[in-house]
Amino acid sequence: MKKTRIKNATVVLPEGCCRVSVLIEGTRIADIDPAPQIAVDINIDAAGLYLLPGVIDDHVHFREPGLTHKEDLAHATRACAKGGVTTFFDMPNTYPTTTTGDLLEEKLALAADRSLVNYGFYIGATRDNLQQLRSVHRTPGIKLFIGSSTGDLLVDEQDALEQIFAATQLPLCGHCEDERTVRRNMARFARTDHVADHSQIRDEQAALIAVQRAMDLAVRHRHRFHVAHVSTGAEADLLPAARPWLTGEVCPHHLLLNVDDYPRLGTRAQINPALKTEADNRRLWEALREDHIQLVATDHAPHTLEEKNRPYPESPSGLPAVENSLALMLTQVHEGRCTLEQVVHWMCEAPARVWDVRNKGAIVRGFDADLVLVDLYKRAEVRDAEQETRCRWSPWHGTILTGWPLRTWVRGQEVYCEGRFNPSRVDREVLFDHPLGGYWGRTTLAG
């Protein structure tokens, strides 16, 4: 079994940063600070660099099957590897939508053949697939669109929601924007062609009403629910009242962009939920630091530039982010908004806890060797032409970020090294221990 020693790096361990060696044997972390006389196949001197757990992004749209002109597993997982993301969980709104066990297994089979990194896929809830939701197991959880979707994946009727919360066991996660509020606002702005009005249509009230609805369901049914892409300070203020049943996530675009960016970015900044205000940026940062929001995820949702450049409202909502999310957050470390240890908690440890991920999220003996070696002081500019994502653009084009991944390992195999990819495969399907109780039920990182 091949052994690799990464030495002289500053390693971000659960107990803090320290300079130690890490020994990889096969797919696992075999030892922390191993004896120097242990024979290894590969010795990597990482002096001056930082070794982090691989990022777990619990919210992506990799578009396969059915929408592969925008993105596909091959391009998206190269973007992951380059960006230090070693695990992703993909949403069910593909074509066809992932609403049955058979369709879920088809996506798992596609990823087994094409993914460079670890993978999991949500199953989507509809008004009438309750038996499917009760029978599947190979998934992080059930995705609910409580507003803001189309077709079968929109579940807005109270009776259907009550049944899903009452009769299923898997963790739930939801896009929370009240459909009636959004439609009422759309009628007010029916003649608009200004993309900035998107934030008036998908306003704070739409998000707040839907989150309150989800909180009520989760608490009454004692069912775990994860609020996707929290976009307002008002939502963040509500979430602690529903512990232990609610967790939440925030995306880099809701932390770093706001309505003042529409003149610069135009429809590239059009997302659901929409950008909010600078005051919301500040309140979301506070909520993240105070553990009212538990983790950072991207909601990576690419469209082609041709599609994004259509005049509003024909332009689609969504933006790519998985390739740059870690560098964006490391830049915030340099700007004093957070610490390196907080970034590792929000992007690695907390997602593993929320979704009961087995043996991931931290640099611990016996855990999977999902690792990223970072030059914390490297400065580089984000450029559209250099993006691995199939859509080949970024809303942060032209931005200089400080702190970049250099090398990435997935289950002990180096998949990315300073511009080069290793396409060989190991078994990368993520395993879940859902009965352990998630973020609030786990008190340790034990695998």
**CATH number of the domain that residue 312 is part of:** 3.20.20.140
The reported pLDDT for the residue numbered 447 is 45
Q: How sure is the predictor about 153, in pLDDT bands with cuts at 50, 70 and 90?
A: confident
Residue 348 lies in a domain: yes
What is the mean predicted confidence (pLDDT) over 45-67? Answer: 98
102: which residues sit within 8 A by CB, 6+ positions away?
Answer: none
What is the mean predicted confidence (pLDDT) over 101-110? Answer: 98
Q: Would the pLDDT of 412 be above 60? A: yes
Whether 144 contacts 107, CB under 8 Å: no
Residue 22 lies in a domain: no
Q: Which residues of 325-347 are buried (b: 16+ CB within 10 A; e: fewer)?
A: bbbbbbbbbeeebbebbbbbbbb
Peptide bond into 171 cis (omega under 30): no
207: which residues sit within 8 A by CB, 6+ positions away?
Answer: 176, 177, 178, 230, 231, 232, 234, 235, 273
326-378 pLDDT, tens digit each = 999 999 999 999 999 999 999 999 999 999 999 999 999 999 999 999 999 99
User: CA–CA separation, 145 vs 132, rounded Å?
Assistant: 17
Look at the alpha carbons of 335, 339, 344, 349 in this order and tell me if their dihedral is positive or negative. negative
179: which residues sit within 8 A by CB, 6+ positions away?
Answer: 146, 147, 148, 154, 156
Q: How sure is the predictor about 423, in pLDDT bands with cuts at 50, 70 and 90?
A: confident
Query: What secondary structure does DSSP assign to 169-195, as a single string?
Result: -S-EEEEE--HHHHHHHHHHTTT---G
Q: Which residues of 221-244 are buried (b: 16+ CB within 10 A; e: fewer)?
A: bebbbbbbbbbbbbbbebbeebee
Domain count along the chain: 1
Q: Would the pLDDT of 446 be above 50? A: no
168-177 pLDDT, tens digit each = 999 999 999 9
Residue 249 lies in a domain: yes
The reported pLDDT for the residue numbered 149 is 59
Residue 366 lies in a domain: no
Q: How sure is the predictor about 16, in pLDDT bands with cuts at 50, 70 and 90?
A: very high
In 243-369, beta strands by DSSP E: 246-250, 295-296
The secondary structure of residue 319, as a DSSP letter, is: B
Residue 444 lies in a domain: no
Q: 10-13 and 50-53 as β-strands: parallel, antiparallel, unpaired?
A: parallel
More confident site: 426 or 109: 109
Q: What is the dihedral of CA 326, 379, 377, 417, to 10 degrees?
A: 60
The answer to which of 145-154, 253-262, 268-277 has the lowest mean pLDDT is 145-154
> What's the pTM value of the predicted model, to 2 decimals?
0.97
Residue 37 lies in a domain: no
Residues classed as catalytic: 299
Task: Report which of 356, 375, 321, 379 is spatially closest to residue 433, judged by C-alpha positions.
Answer: 356
Q: Which domain holds residue 194?
A: 55-361
137: which residues sit within 8 A by CB, 6+ positions away?
Answer: none
- Residues belonging to the chain: 447
Q: Give ∠ CA 217-218-224 in degrees, rounded to 5.
A: 150
202-248 pLDDT, tens digit each = 999 999 999 999 999 999 999 999 999 999 999 999 999 999 999 99
Whether 265 contacts 287, CB under 8 Å: no
**Cα separations (Å) of 372 from 21, 70, 85, 171, 358?**
14, 27, 8, 28, 18
Q: Would the pLDDT of 435 be above 80? A: no
- What is the identity of the amino acid at 362? A
Residue 140 lies in a domain: yes
What is the mean predicted confidence (pLDDT) over 307-317? Answer: 97
Residue 389 lies in a domain: no
For residue 165, the surrounding DSSP H or E stretch is helix 158-167
Percent of the chain scored above 90 by pLDDT? 93
Percent of the chain scored above 70 by pLDDT? 97
Q: Would the pLDDT of 443 be above 70? A: no
Whether 408 contacts 82, CB under 8 Å: yes
Q: How sure is the predictor about 440, in pLDDT bands with cuts at 50, 70 and 90?
A: confident
Q: Would the pLDDT of 437 be above 90? A: no
Tokens coding 255: 């932390």
The answer to which of 40-44, 75-79, 424-428 has the lowest mean pLDDT is 424-428
Tokens coding 179: 């459909």
Phi and psi torsions of 133, nearest 5°: -65, -30
Q: Which residues pair with 373 in a beta bridge?
A: 51, 407
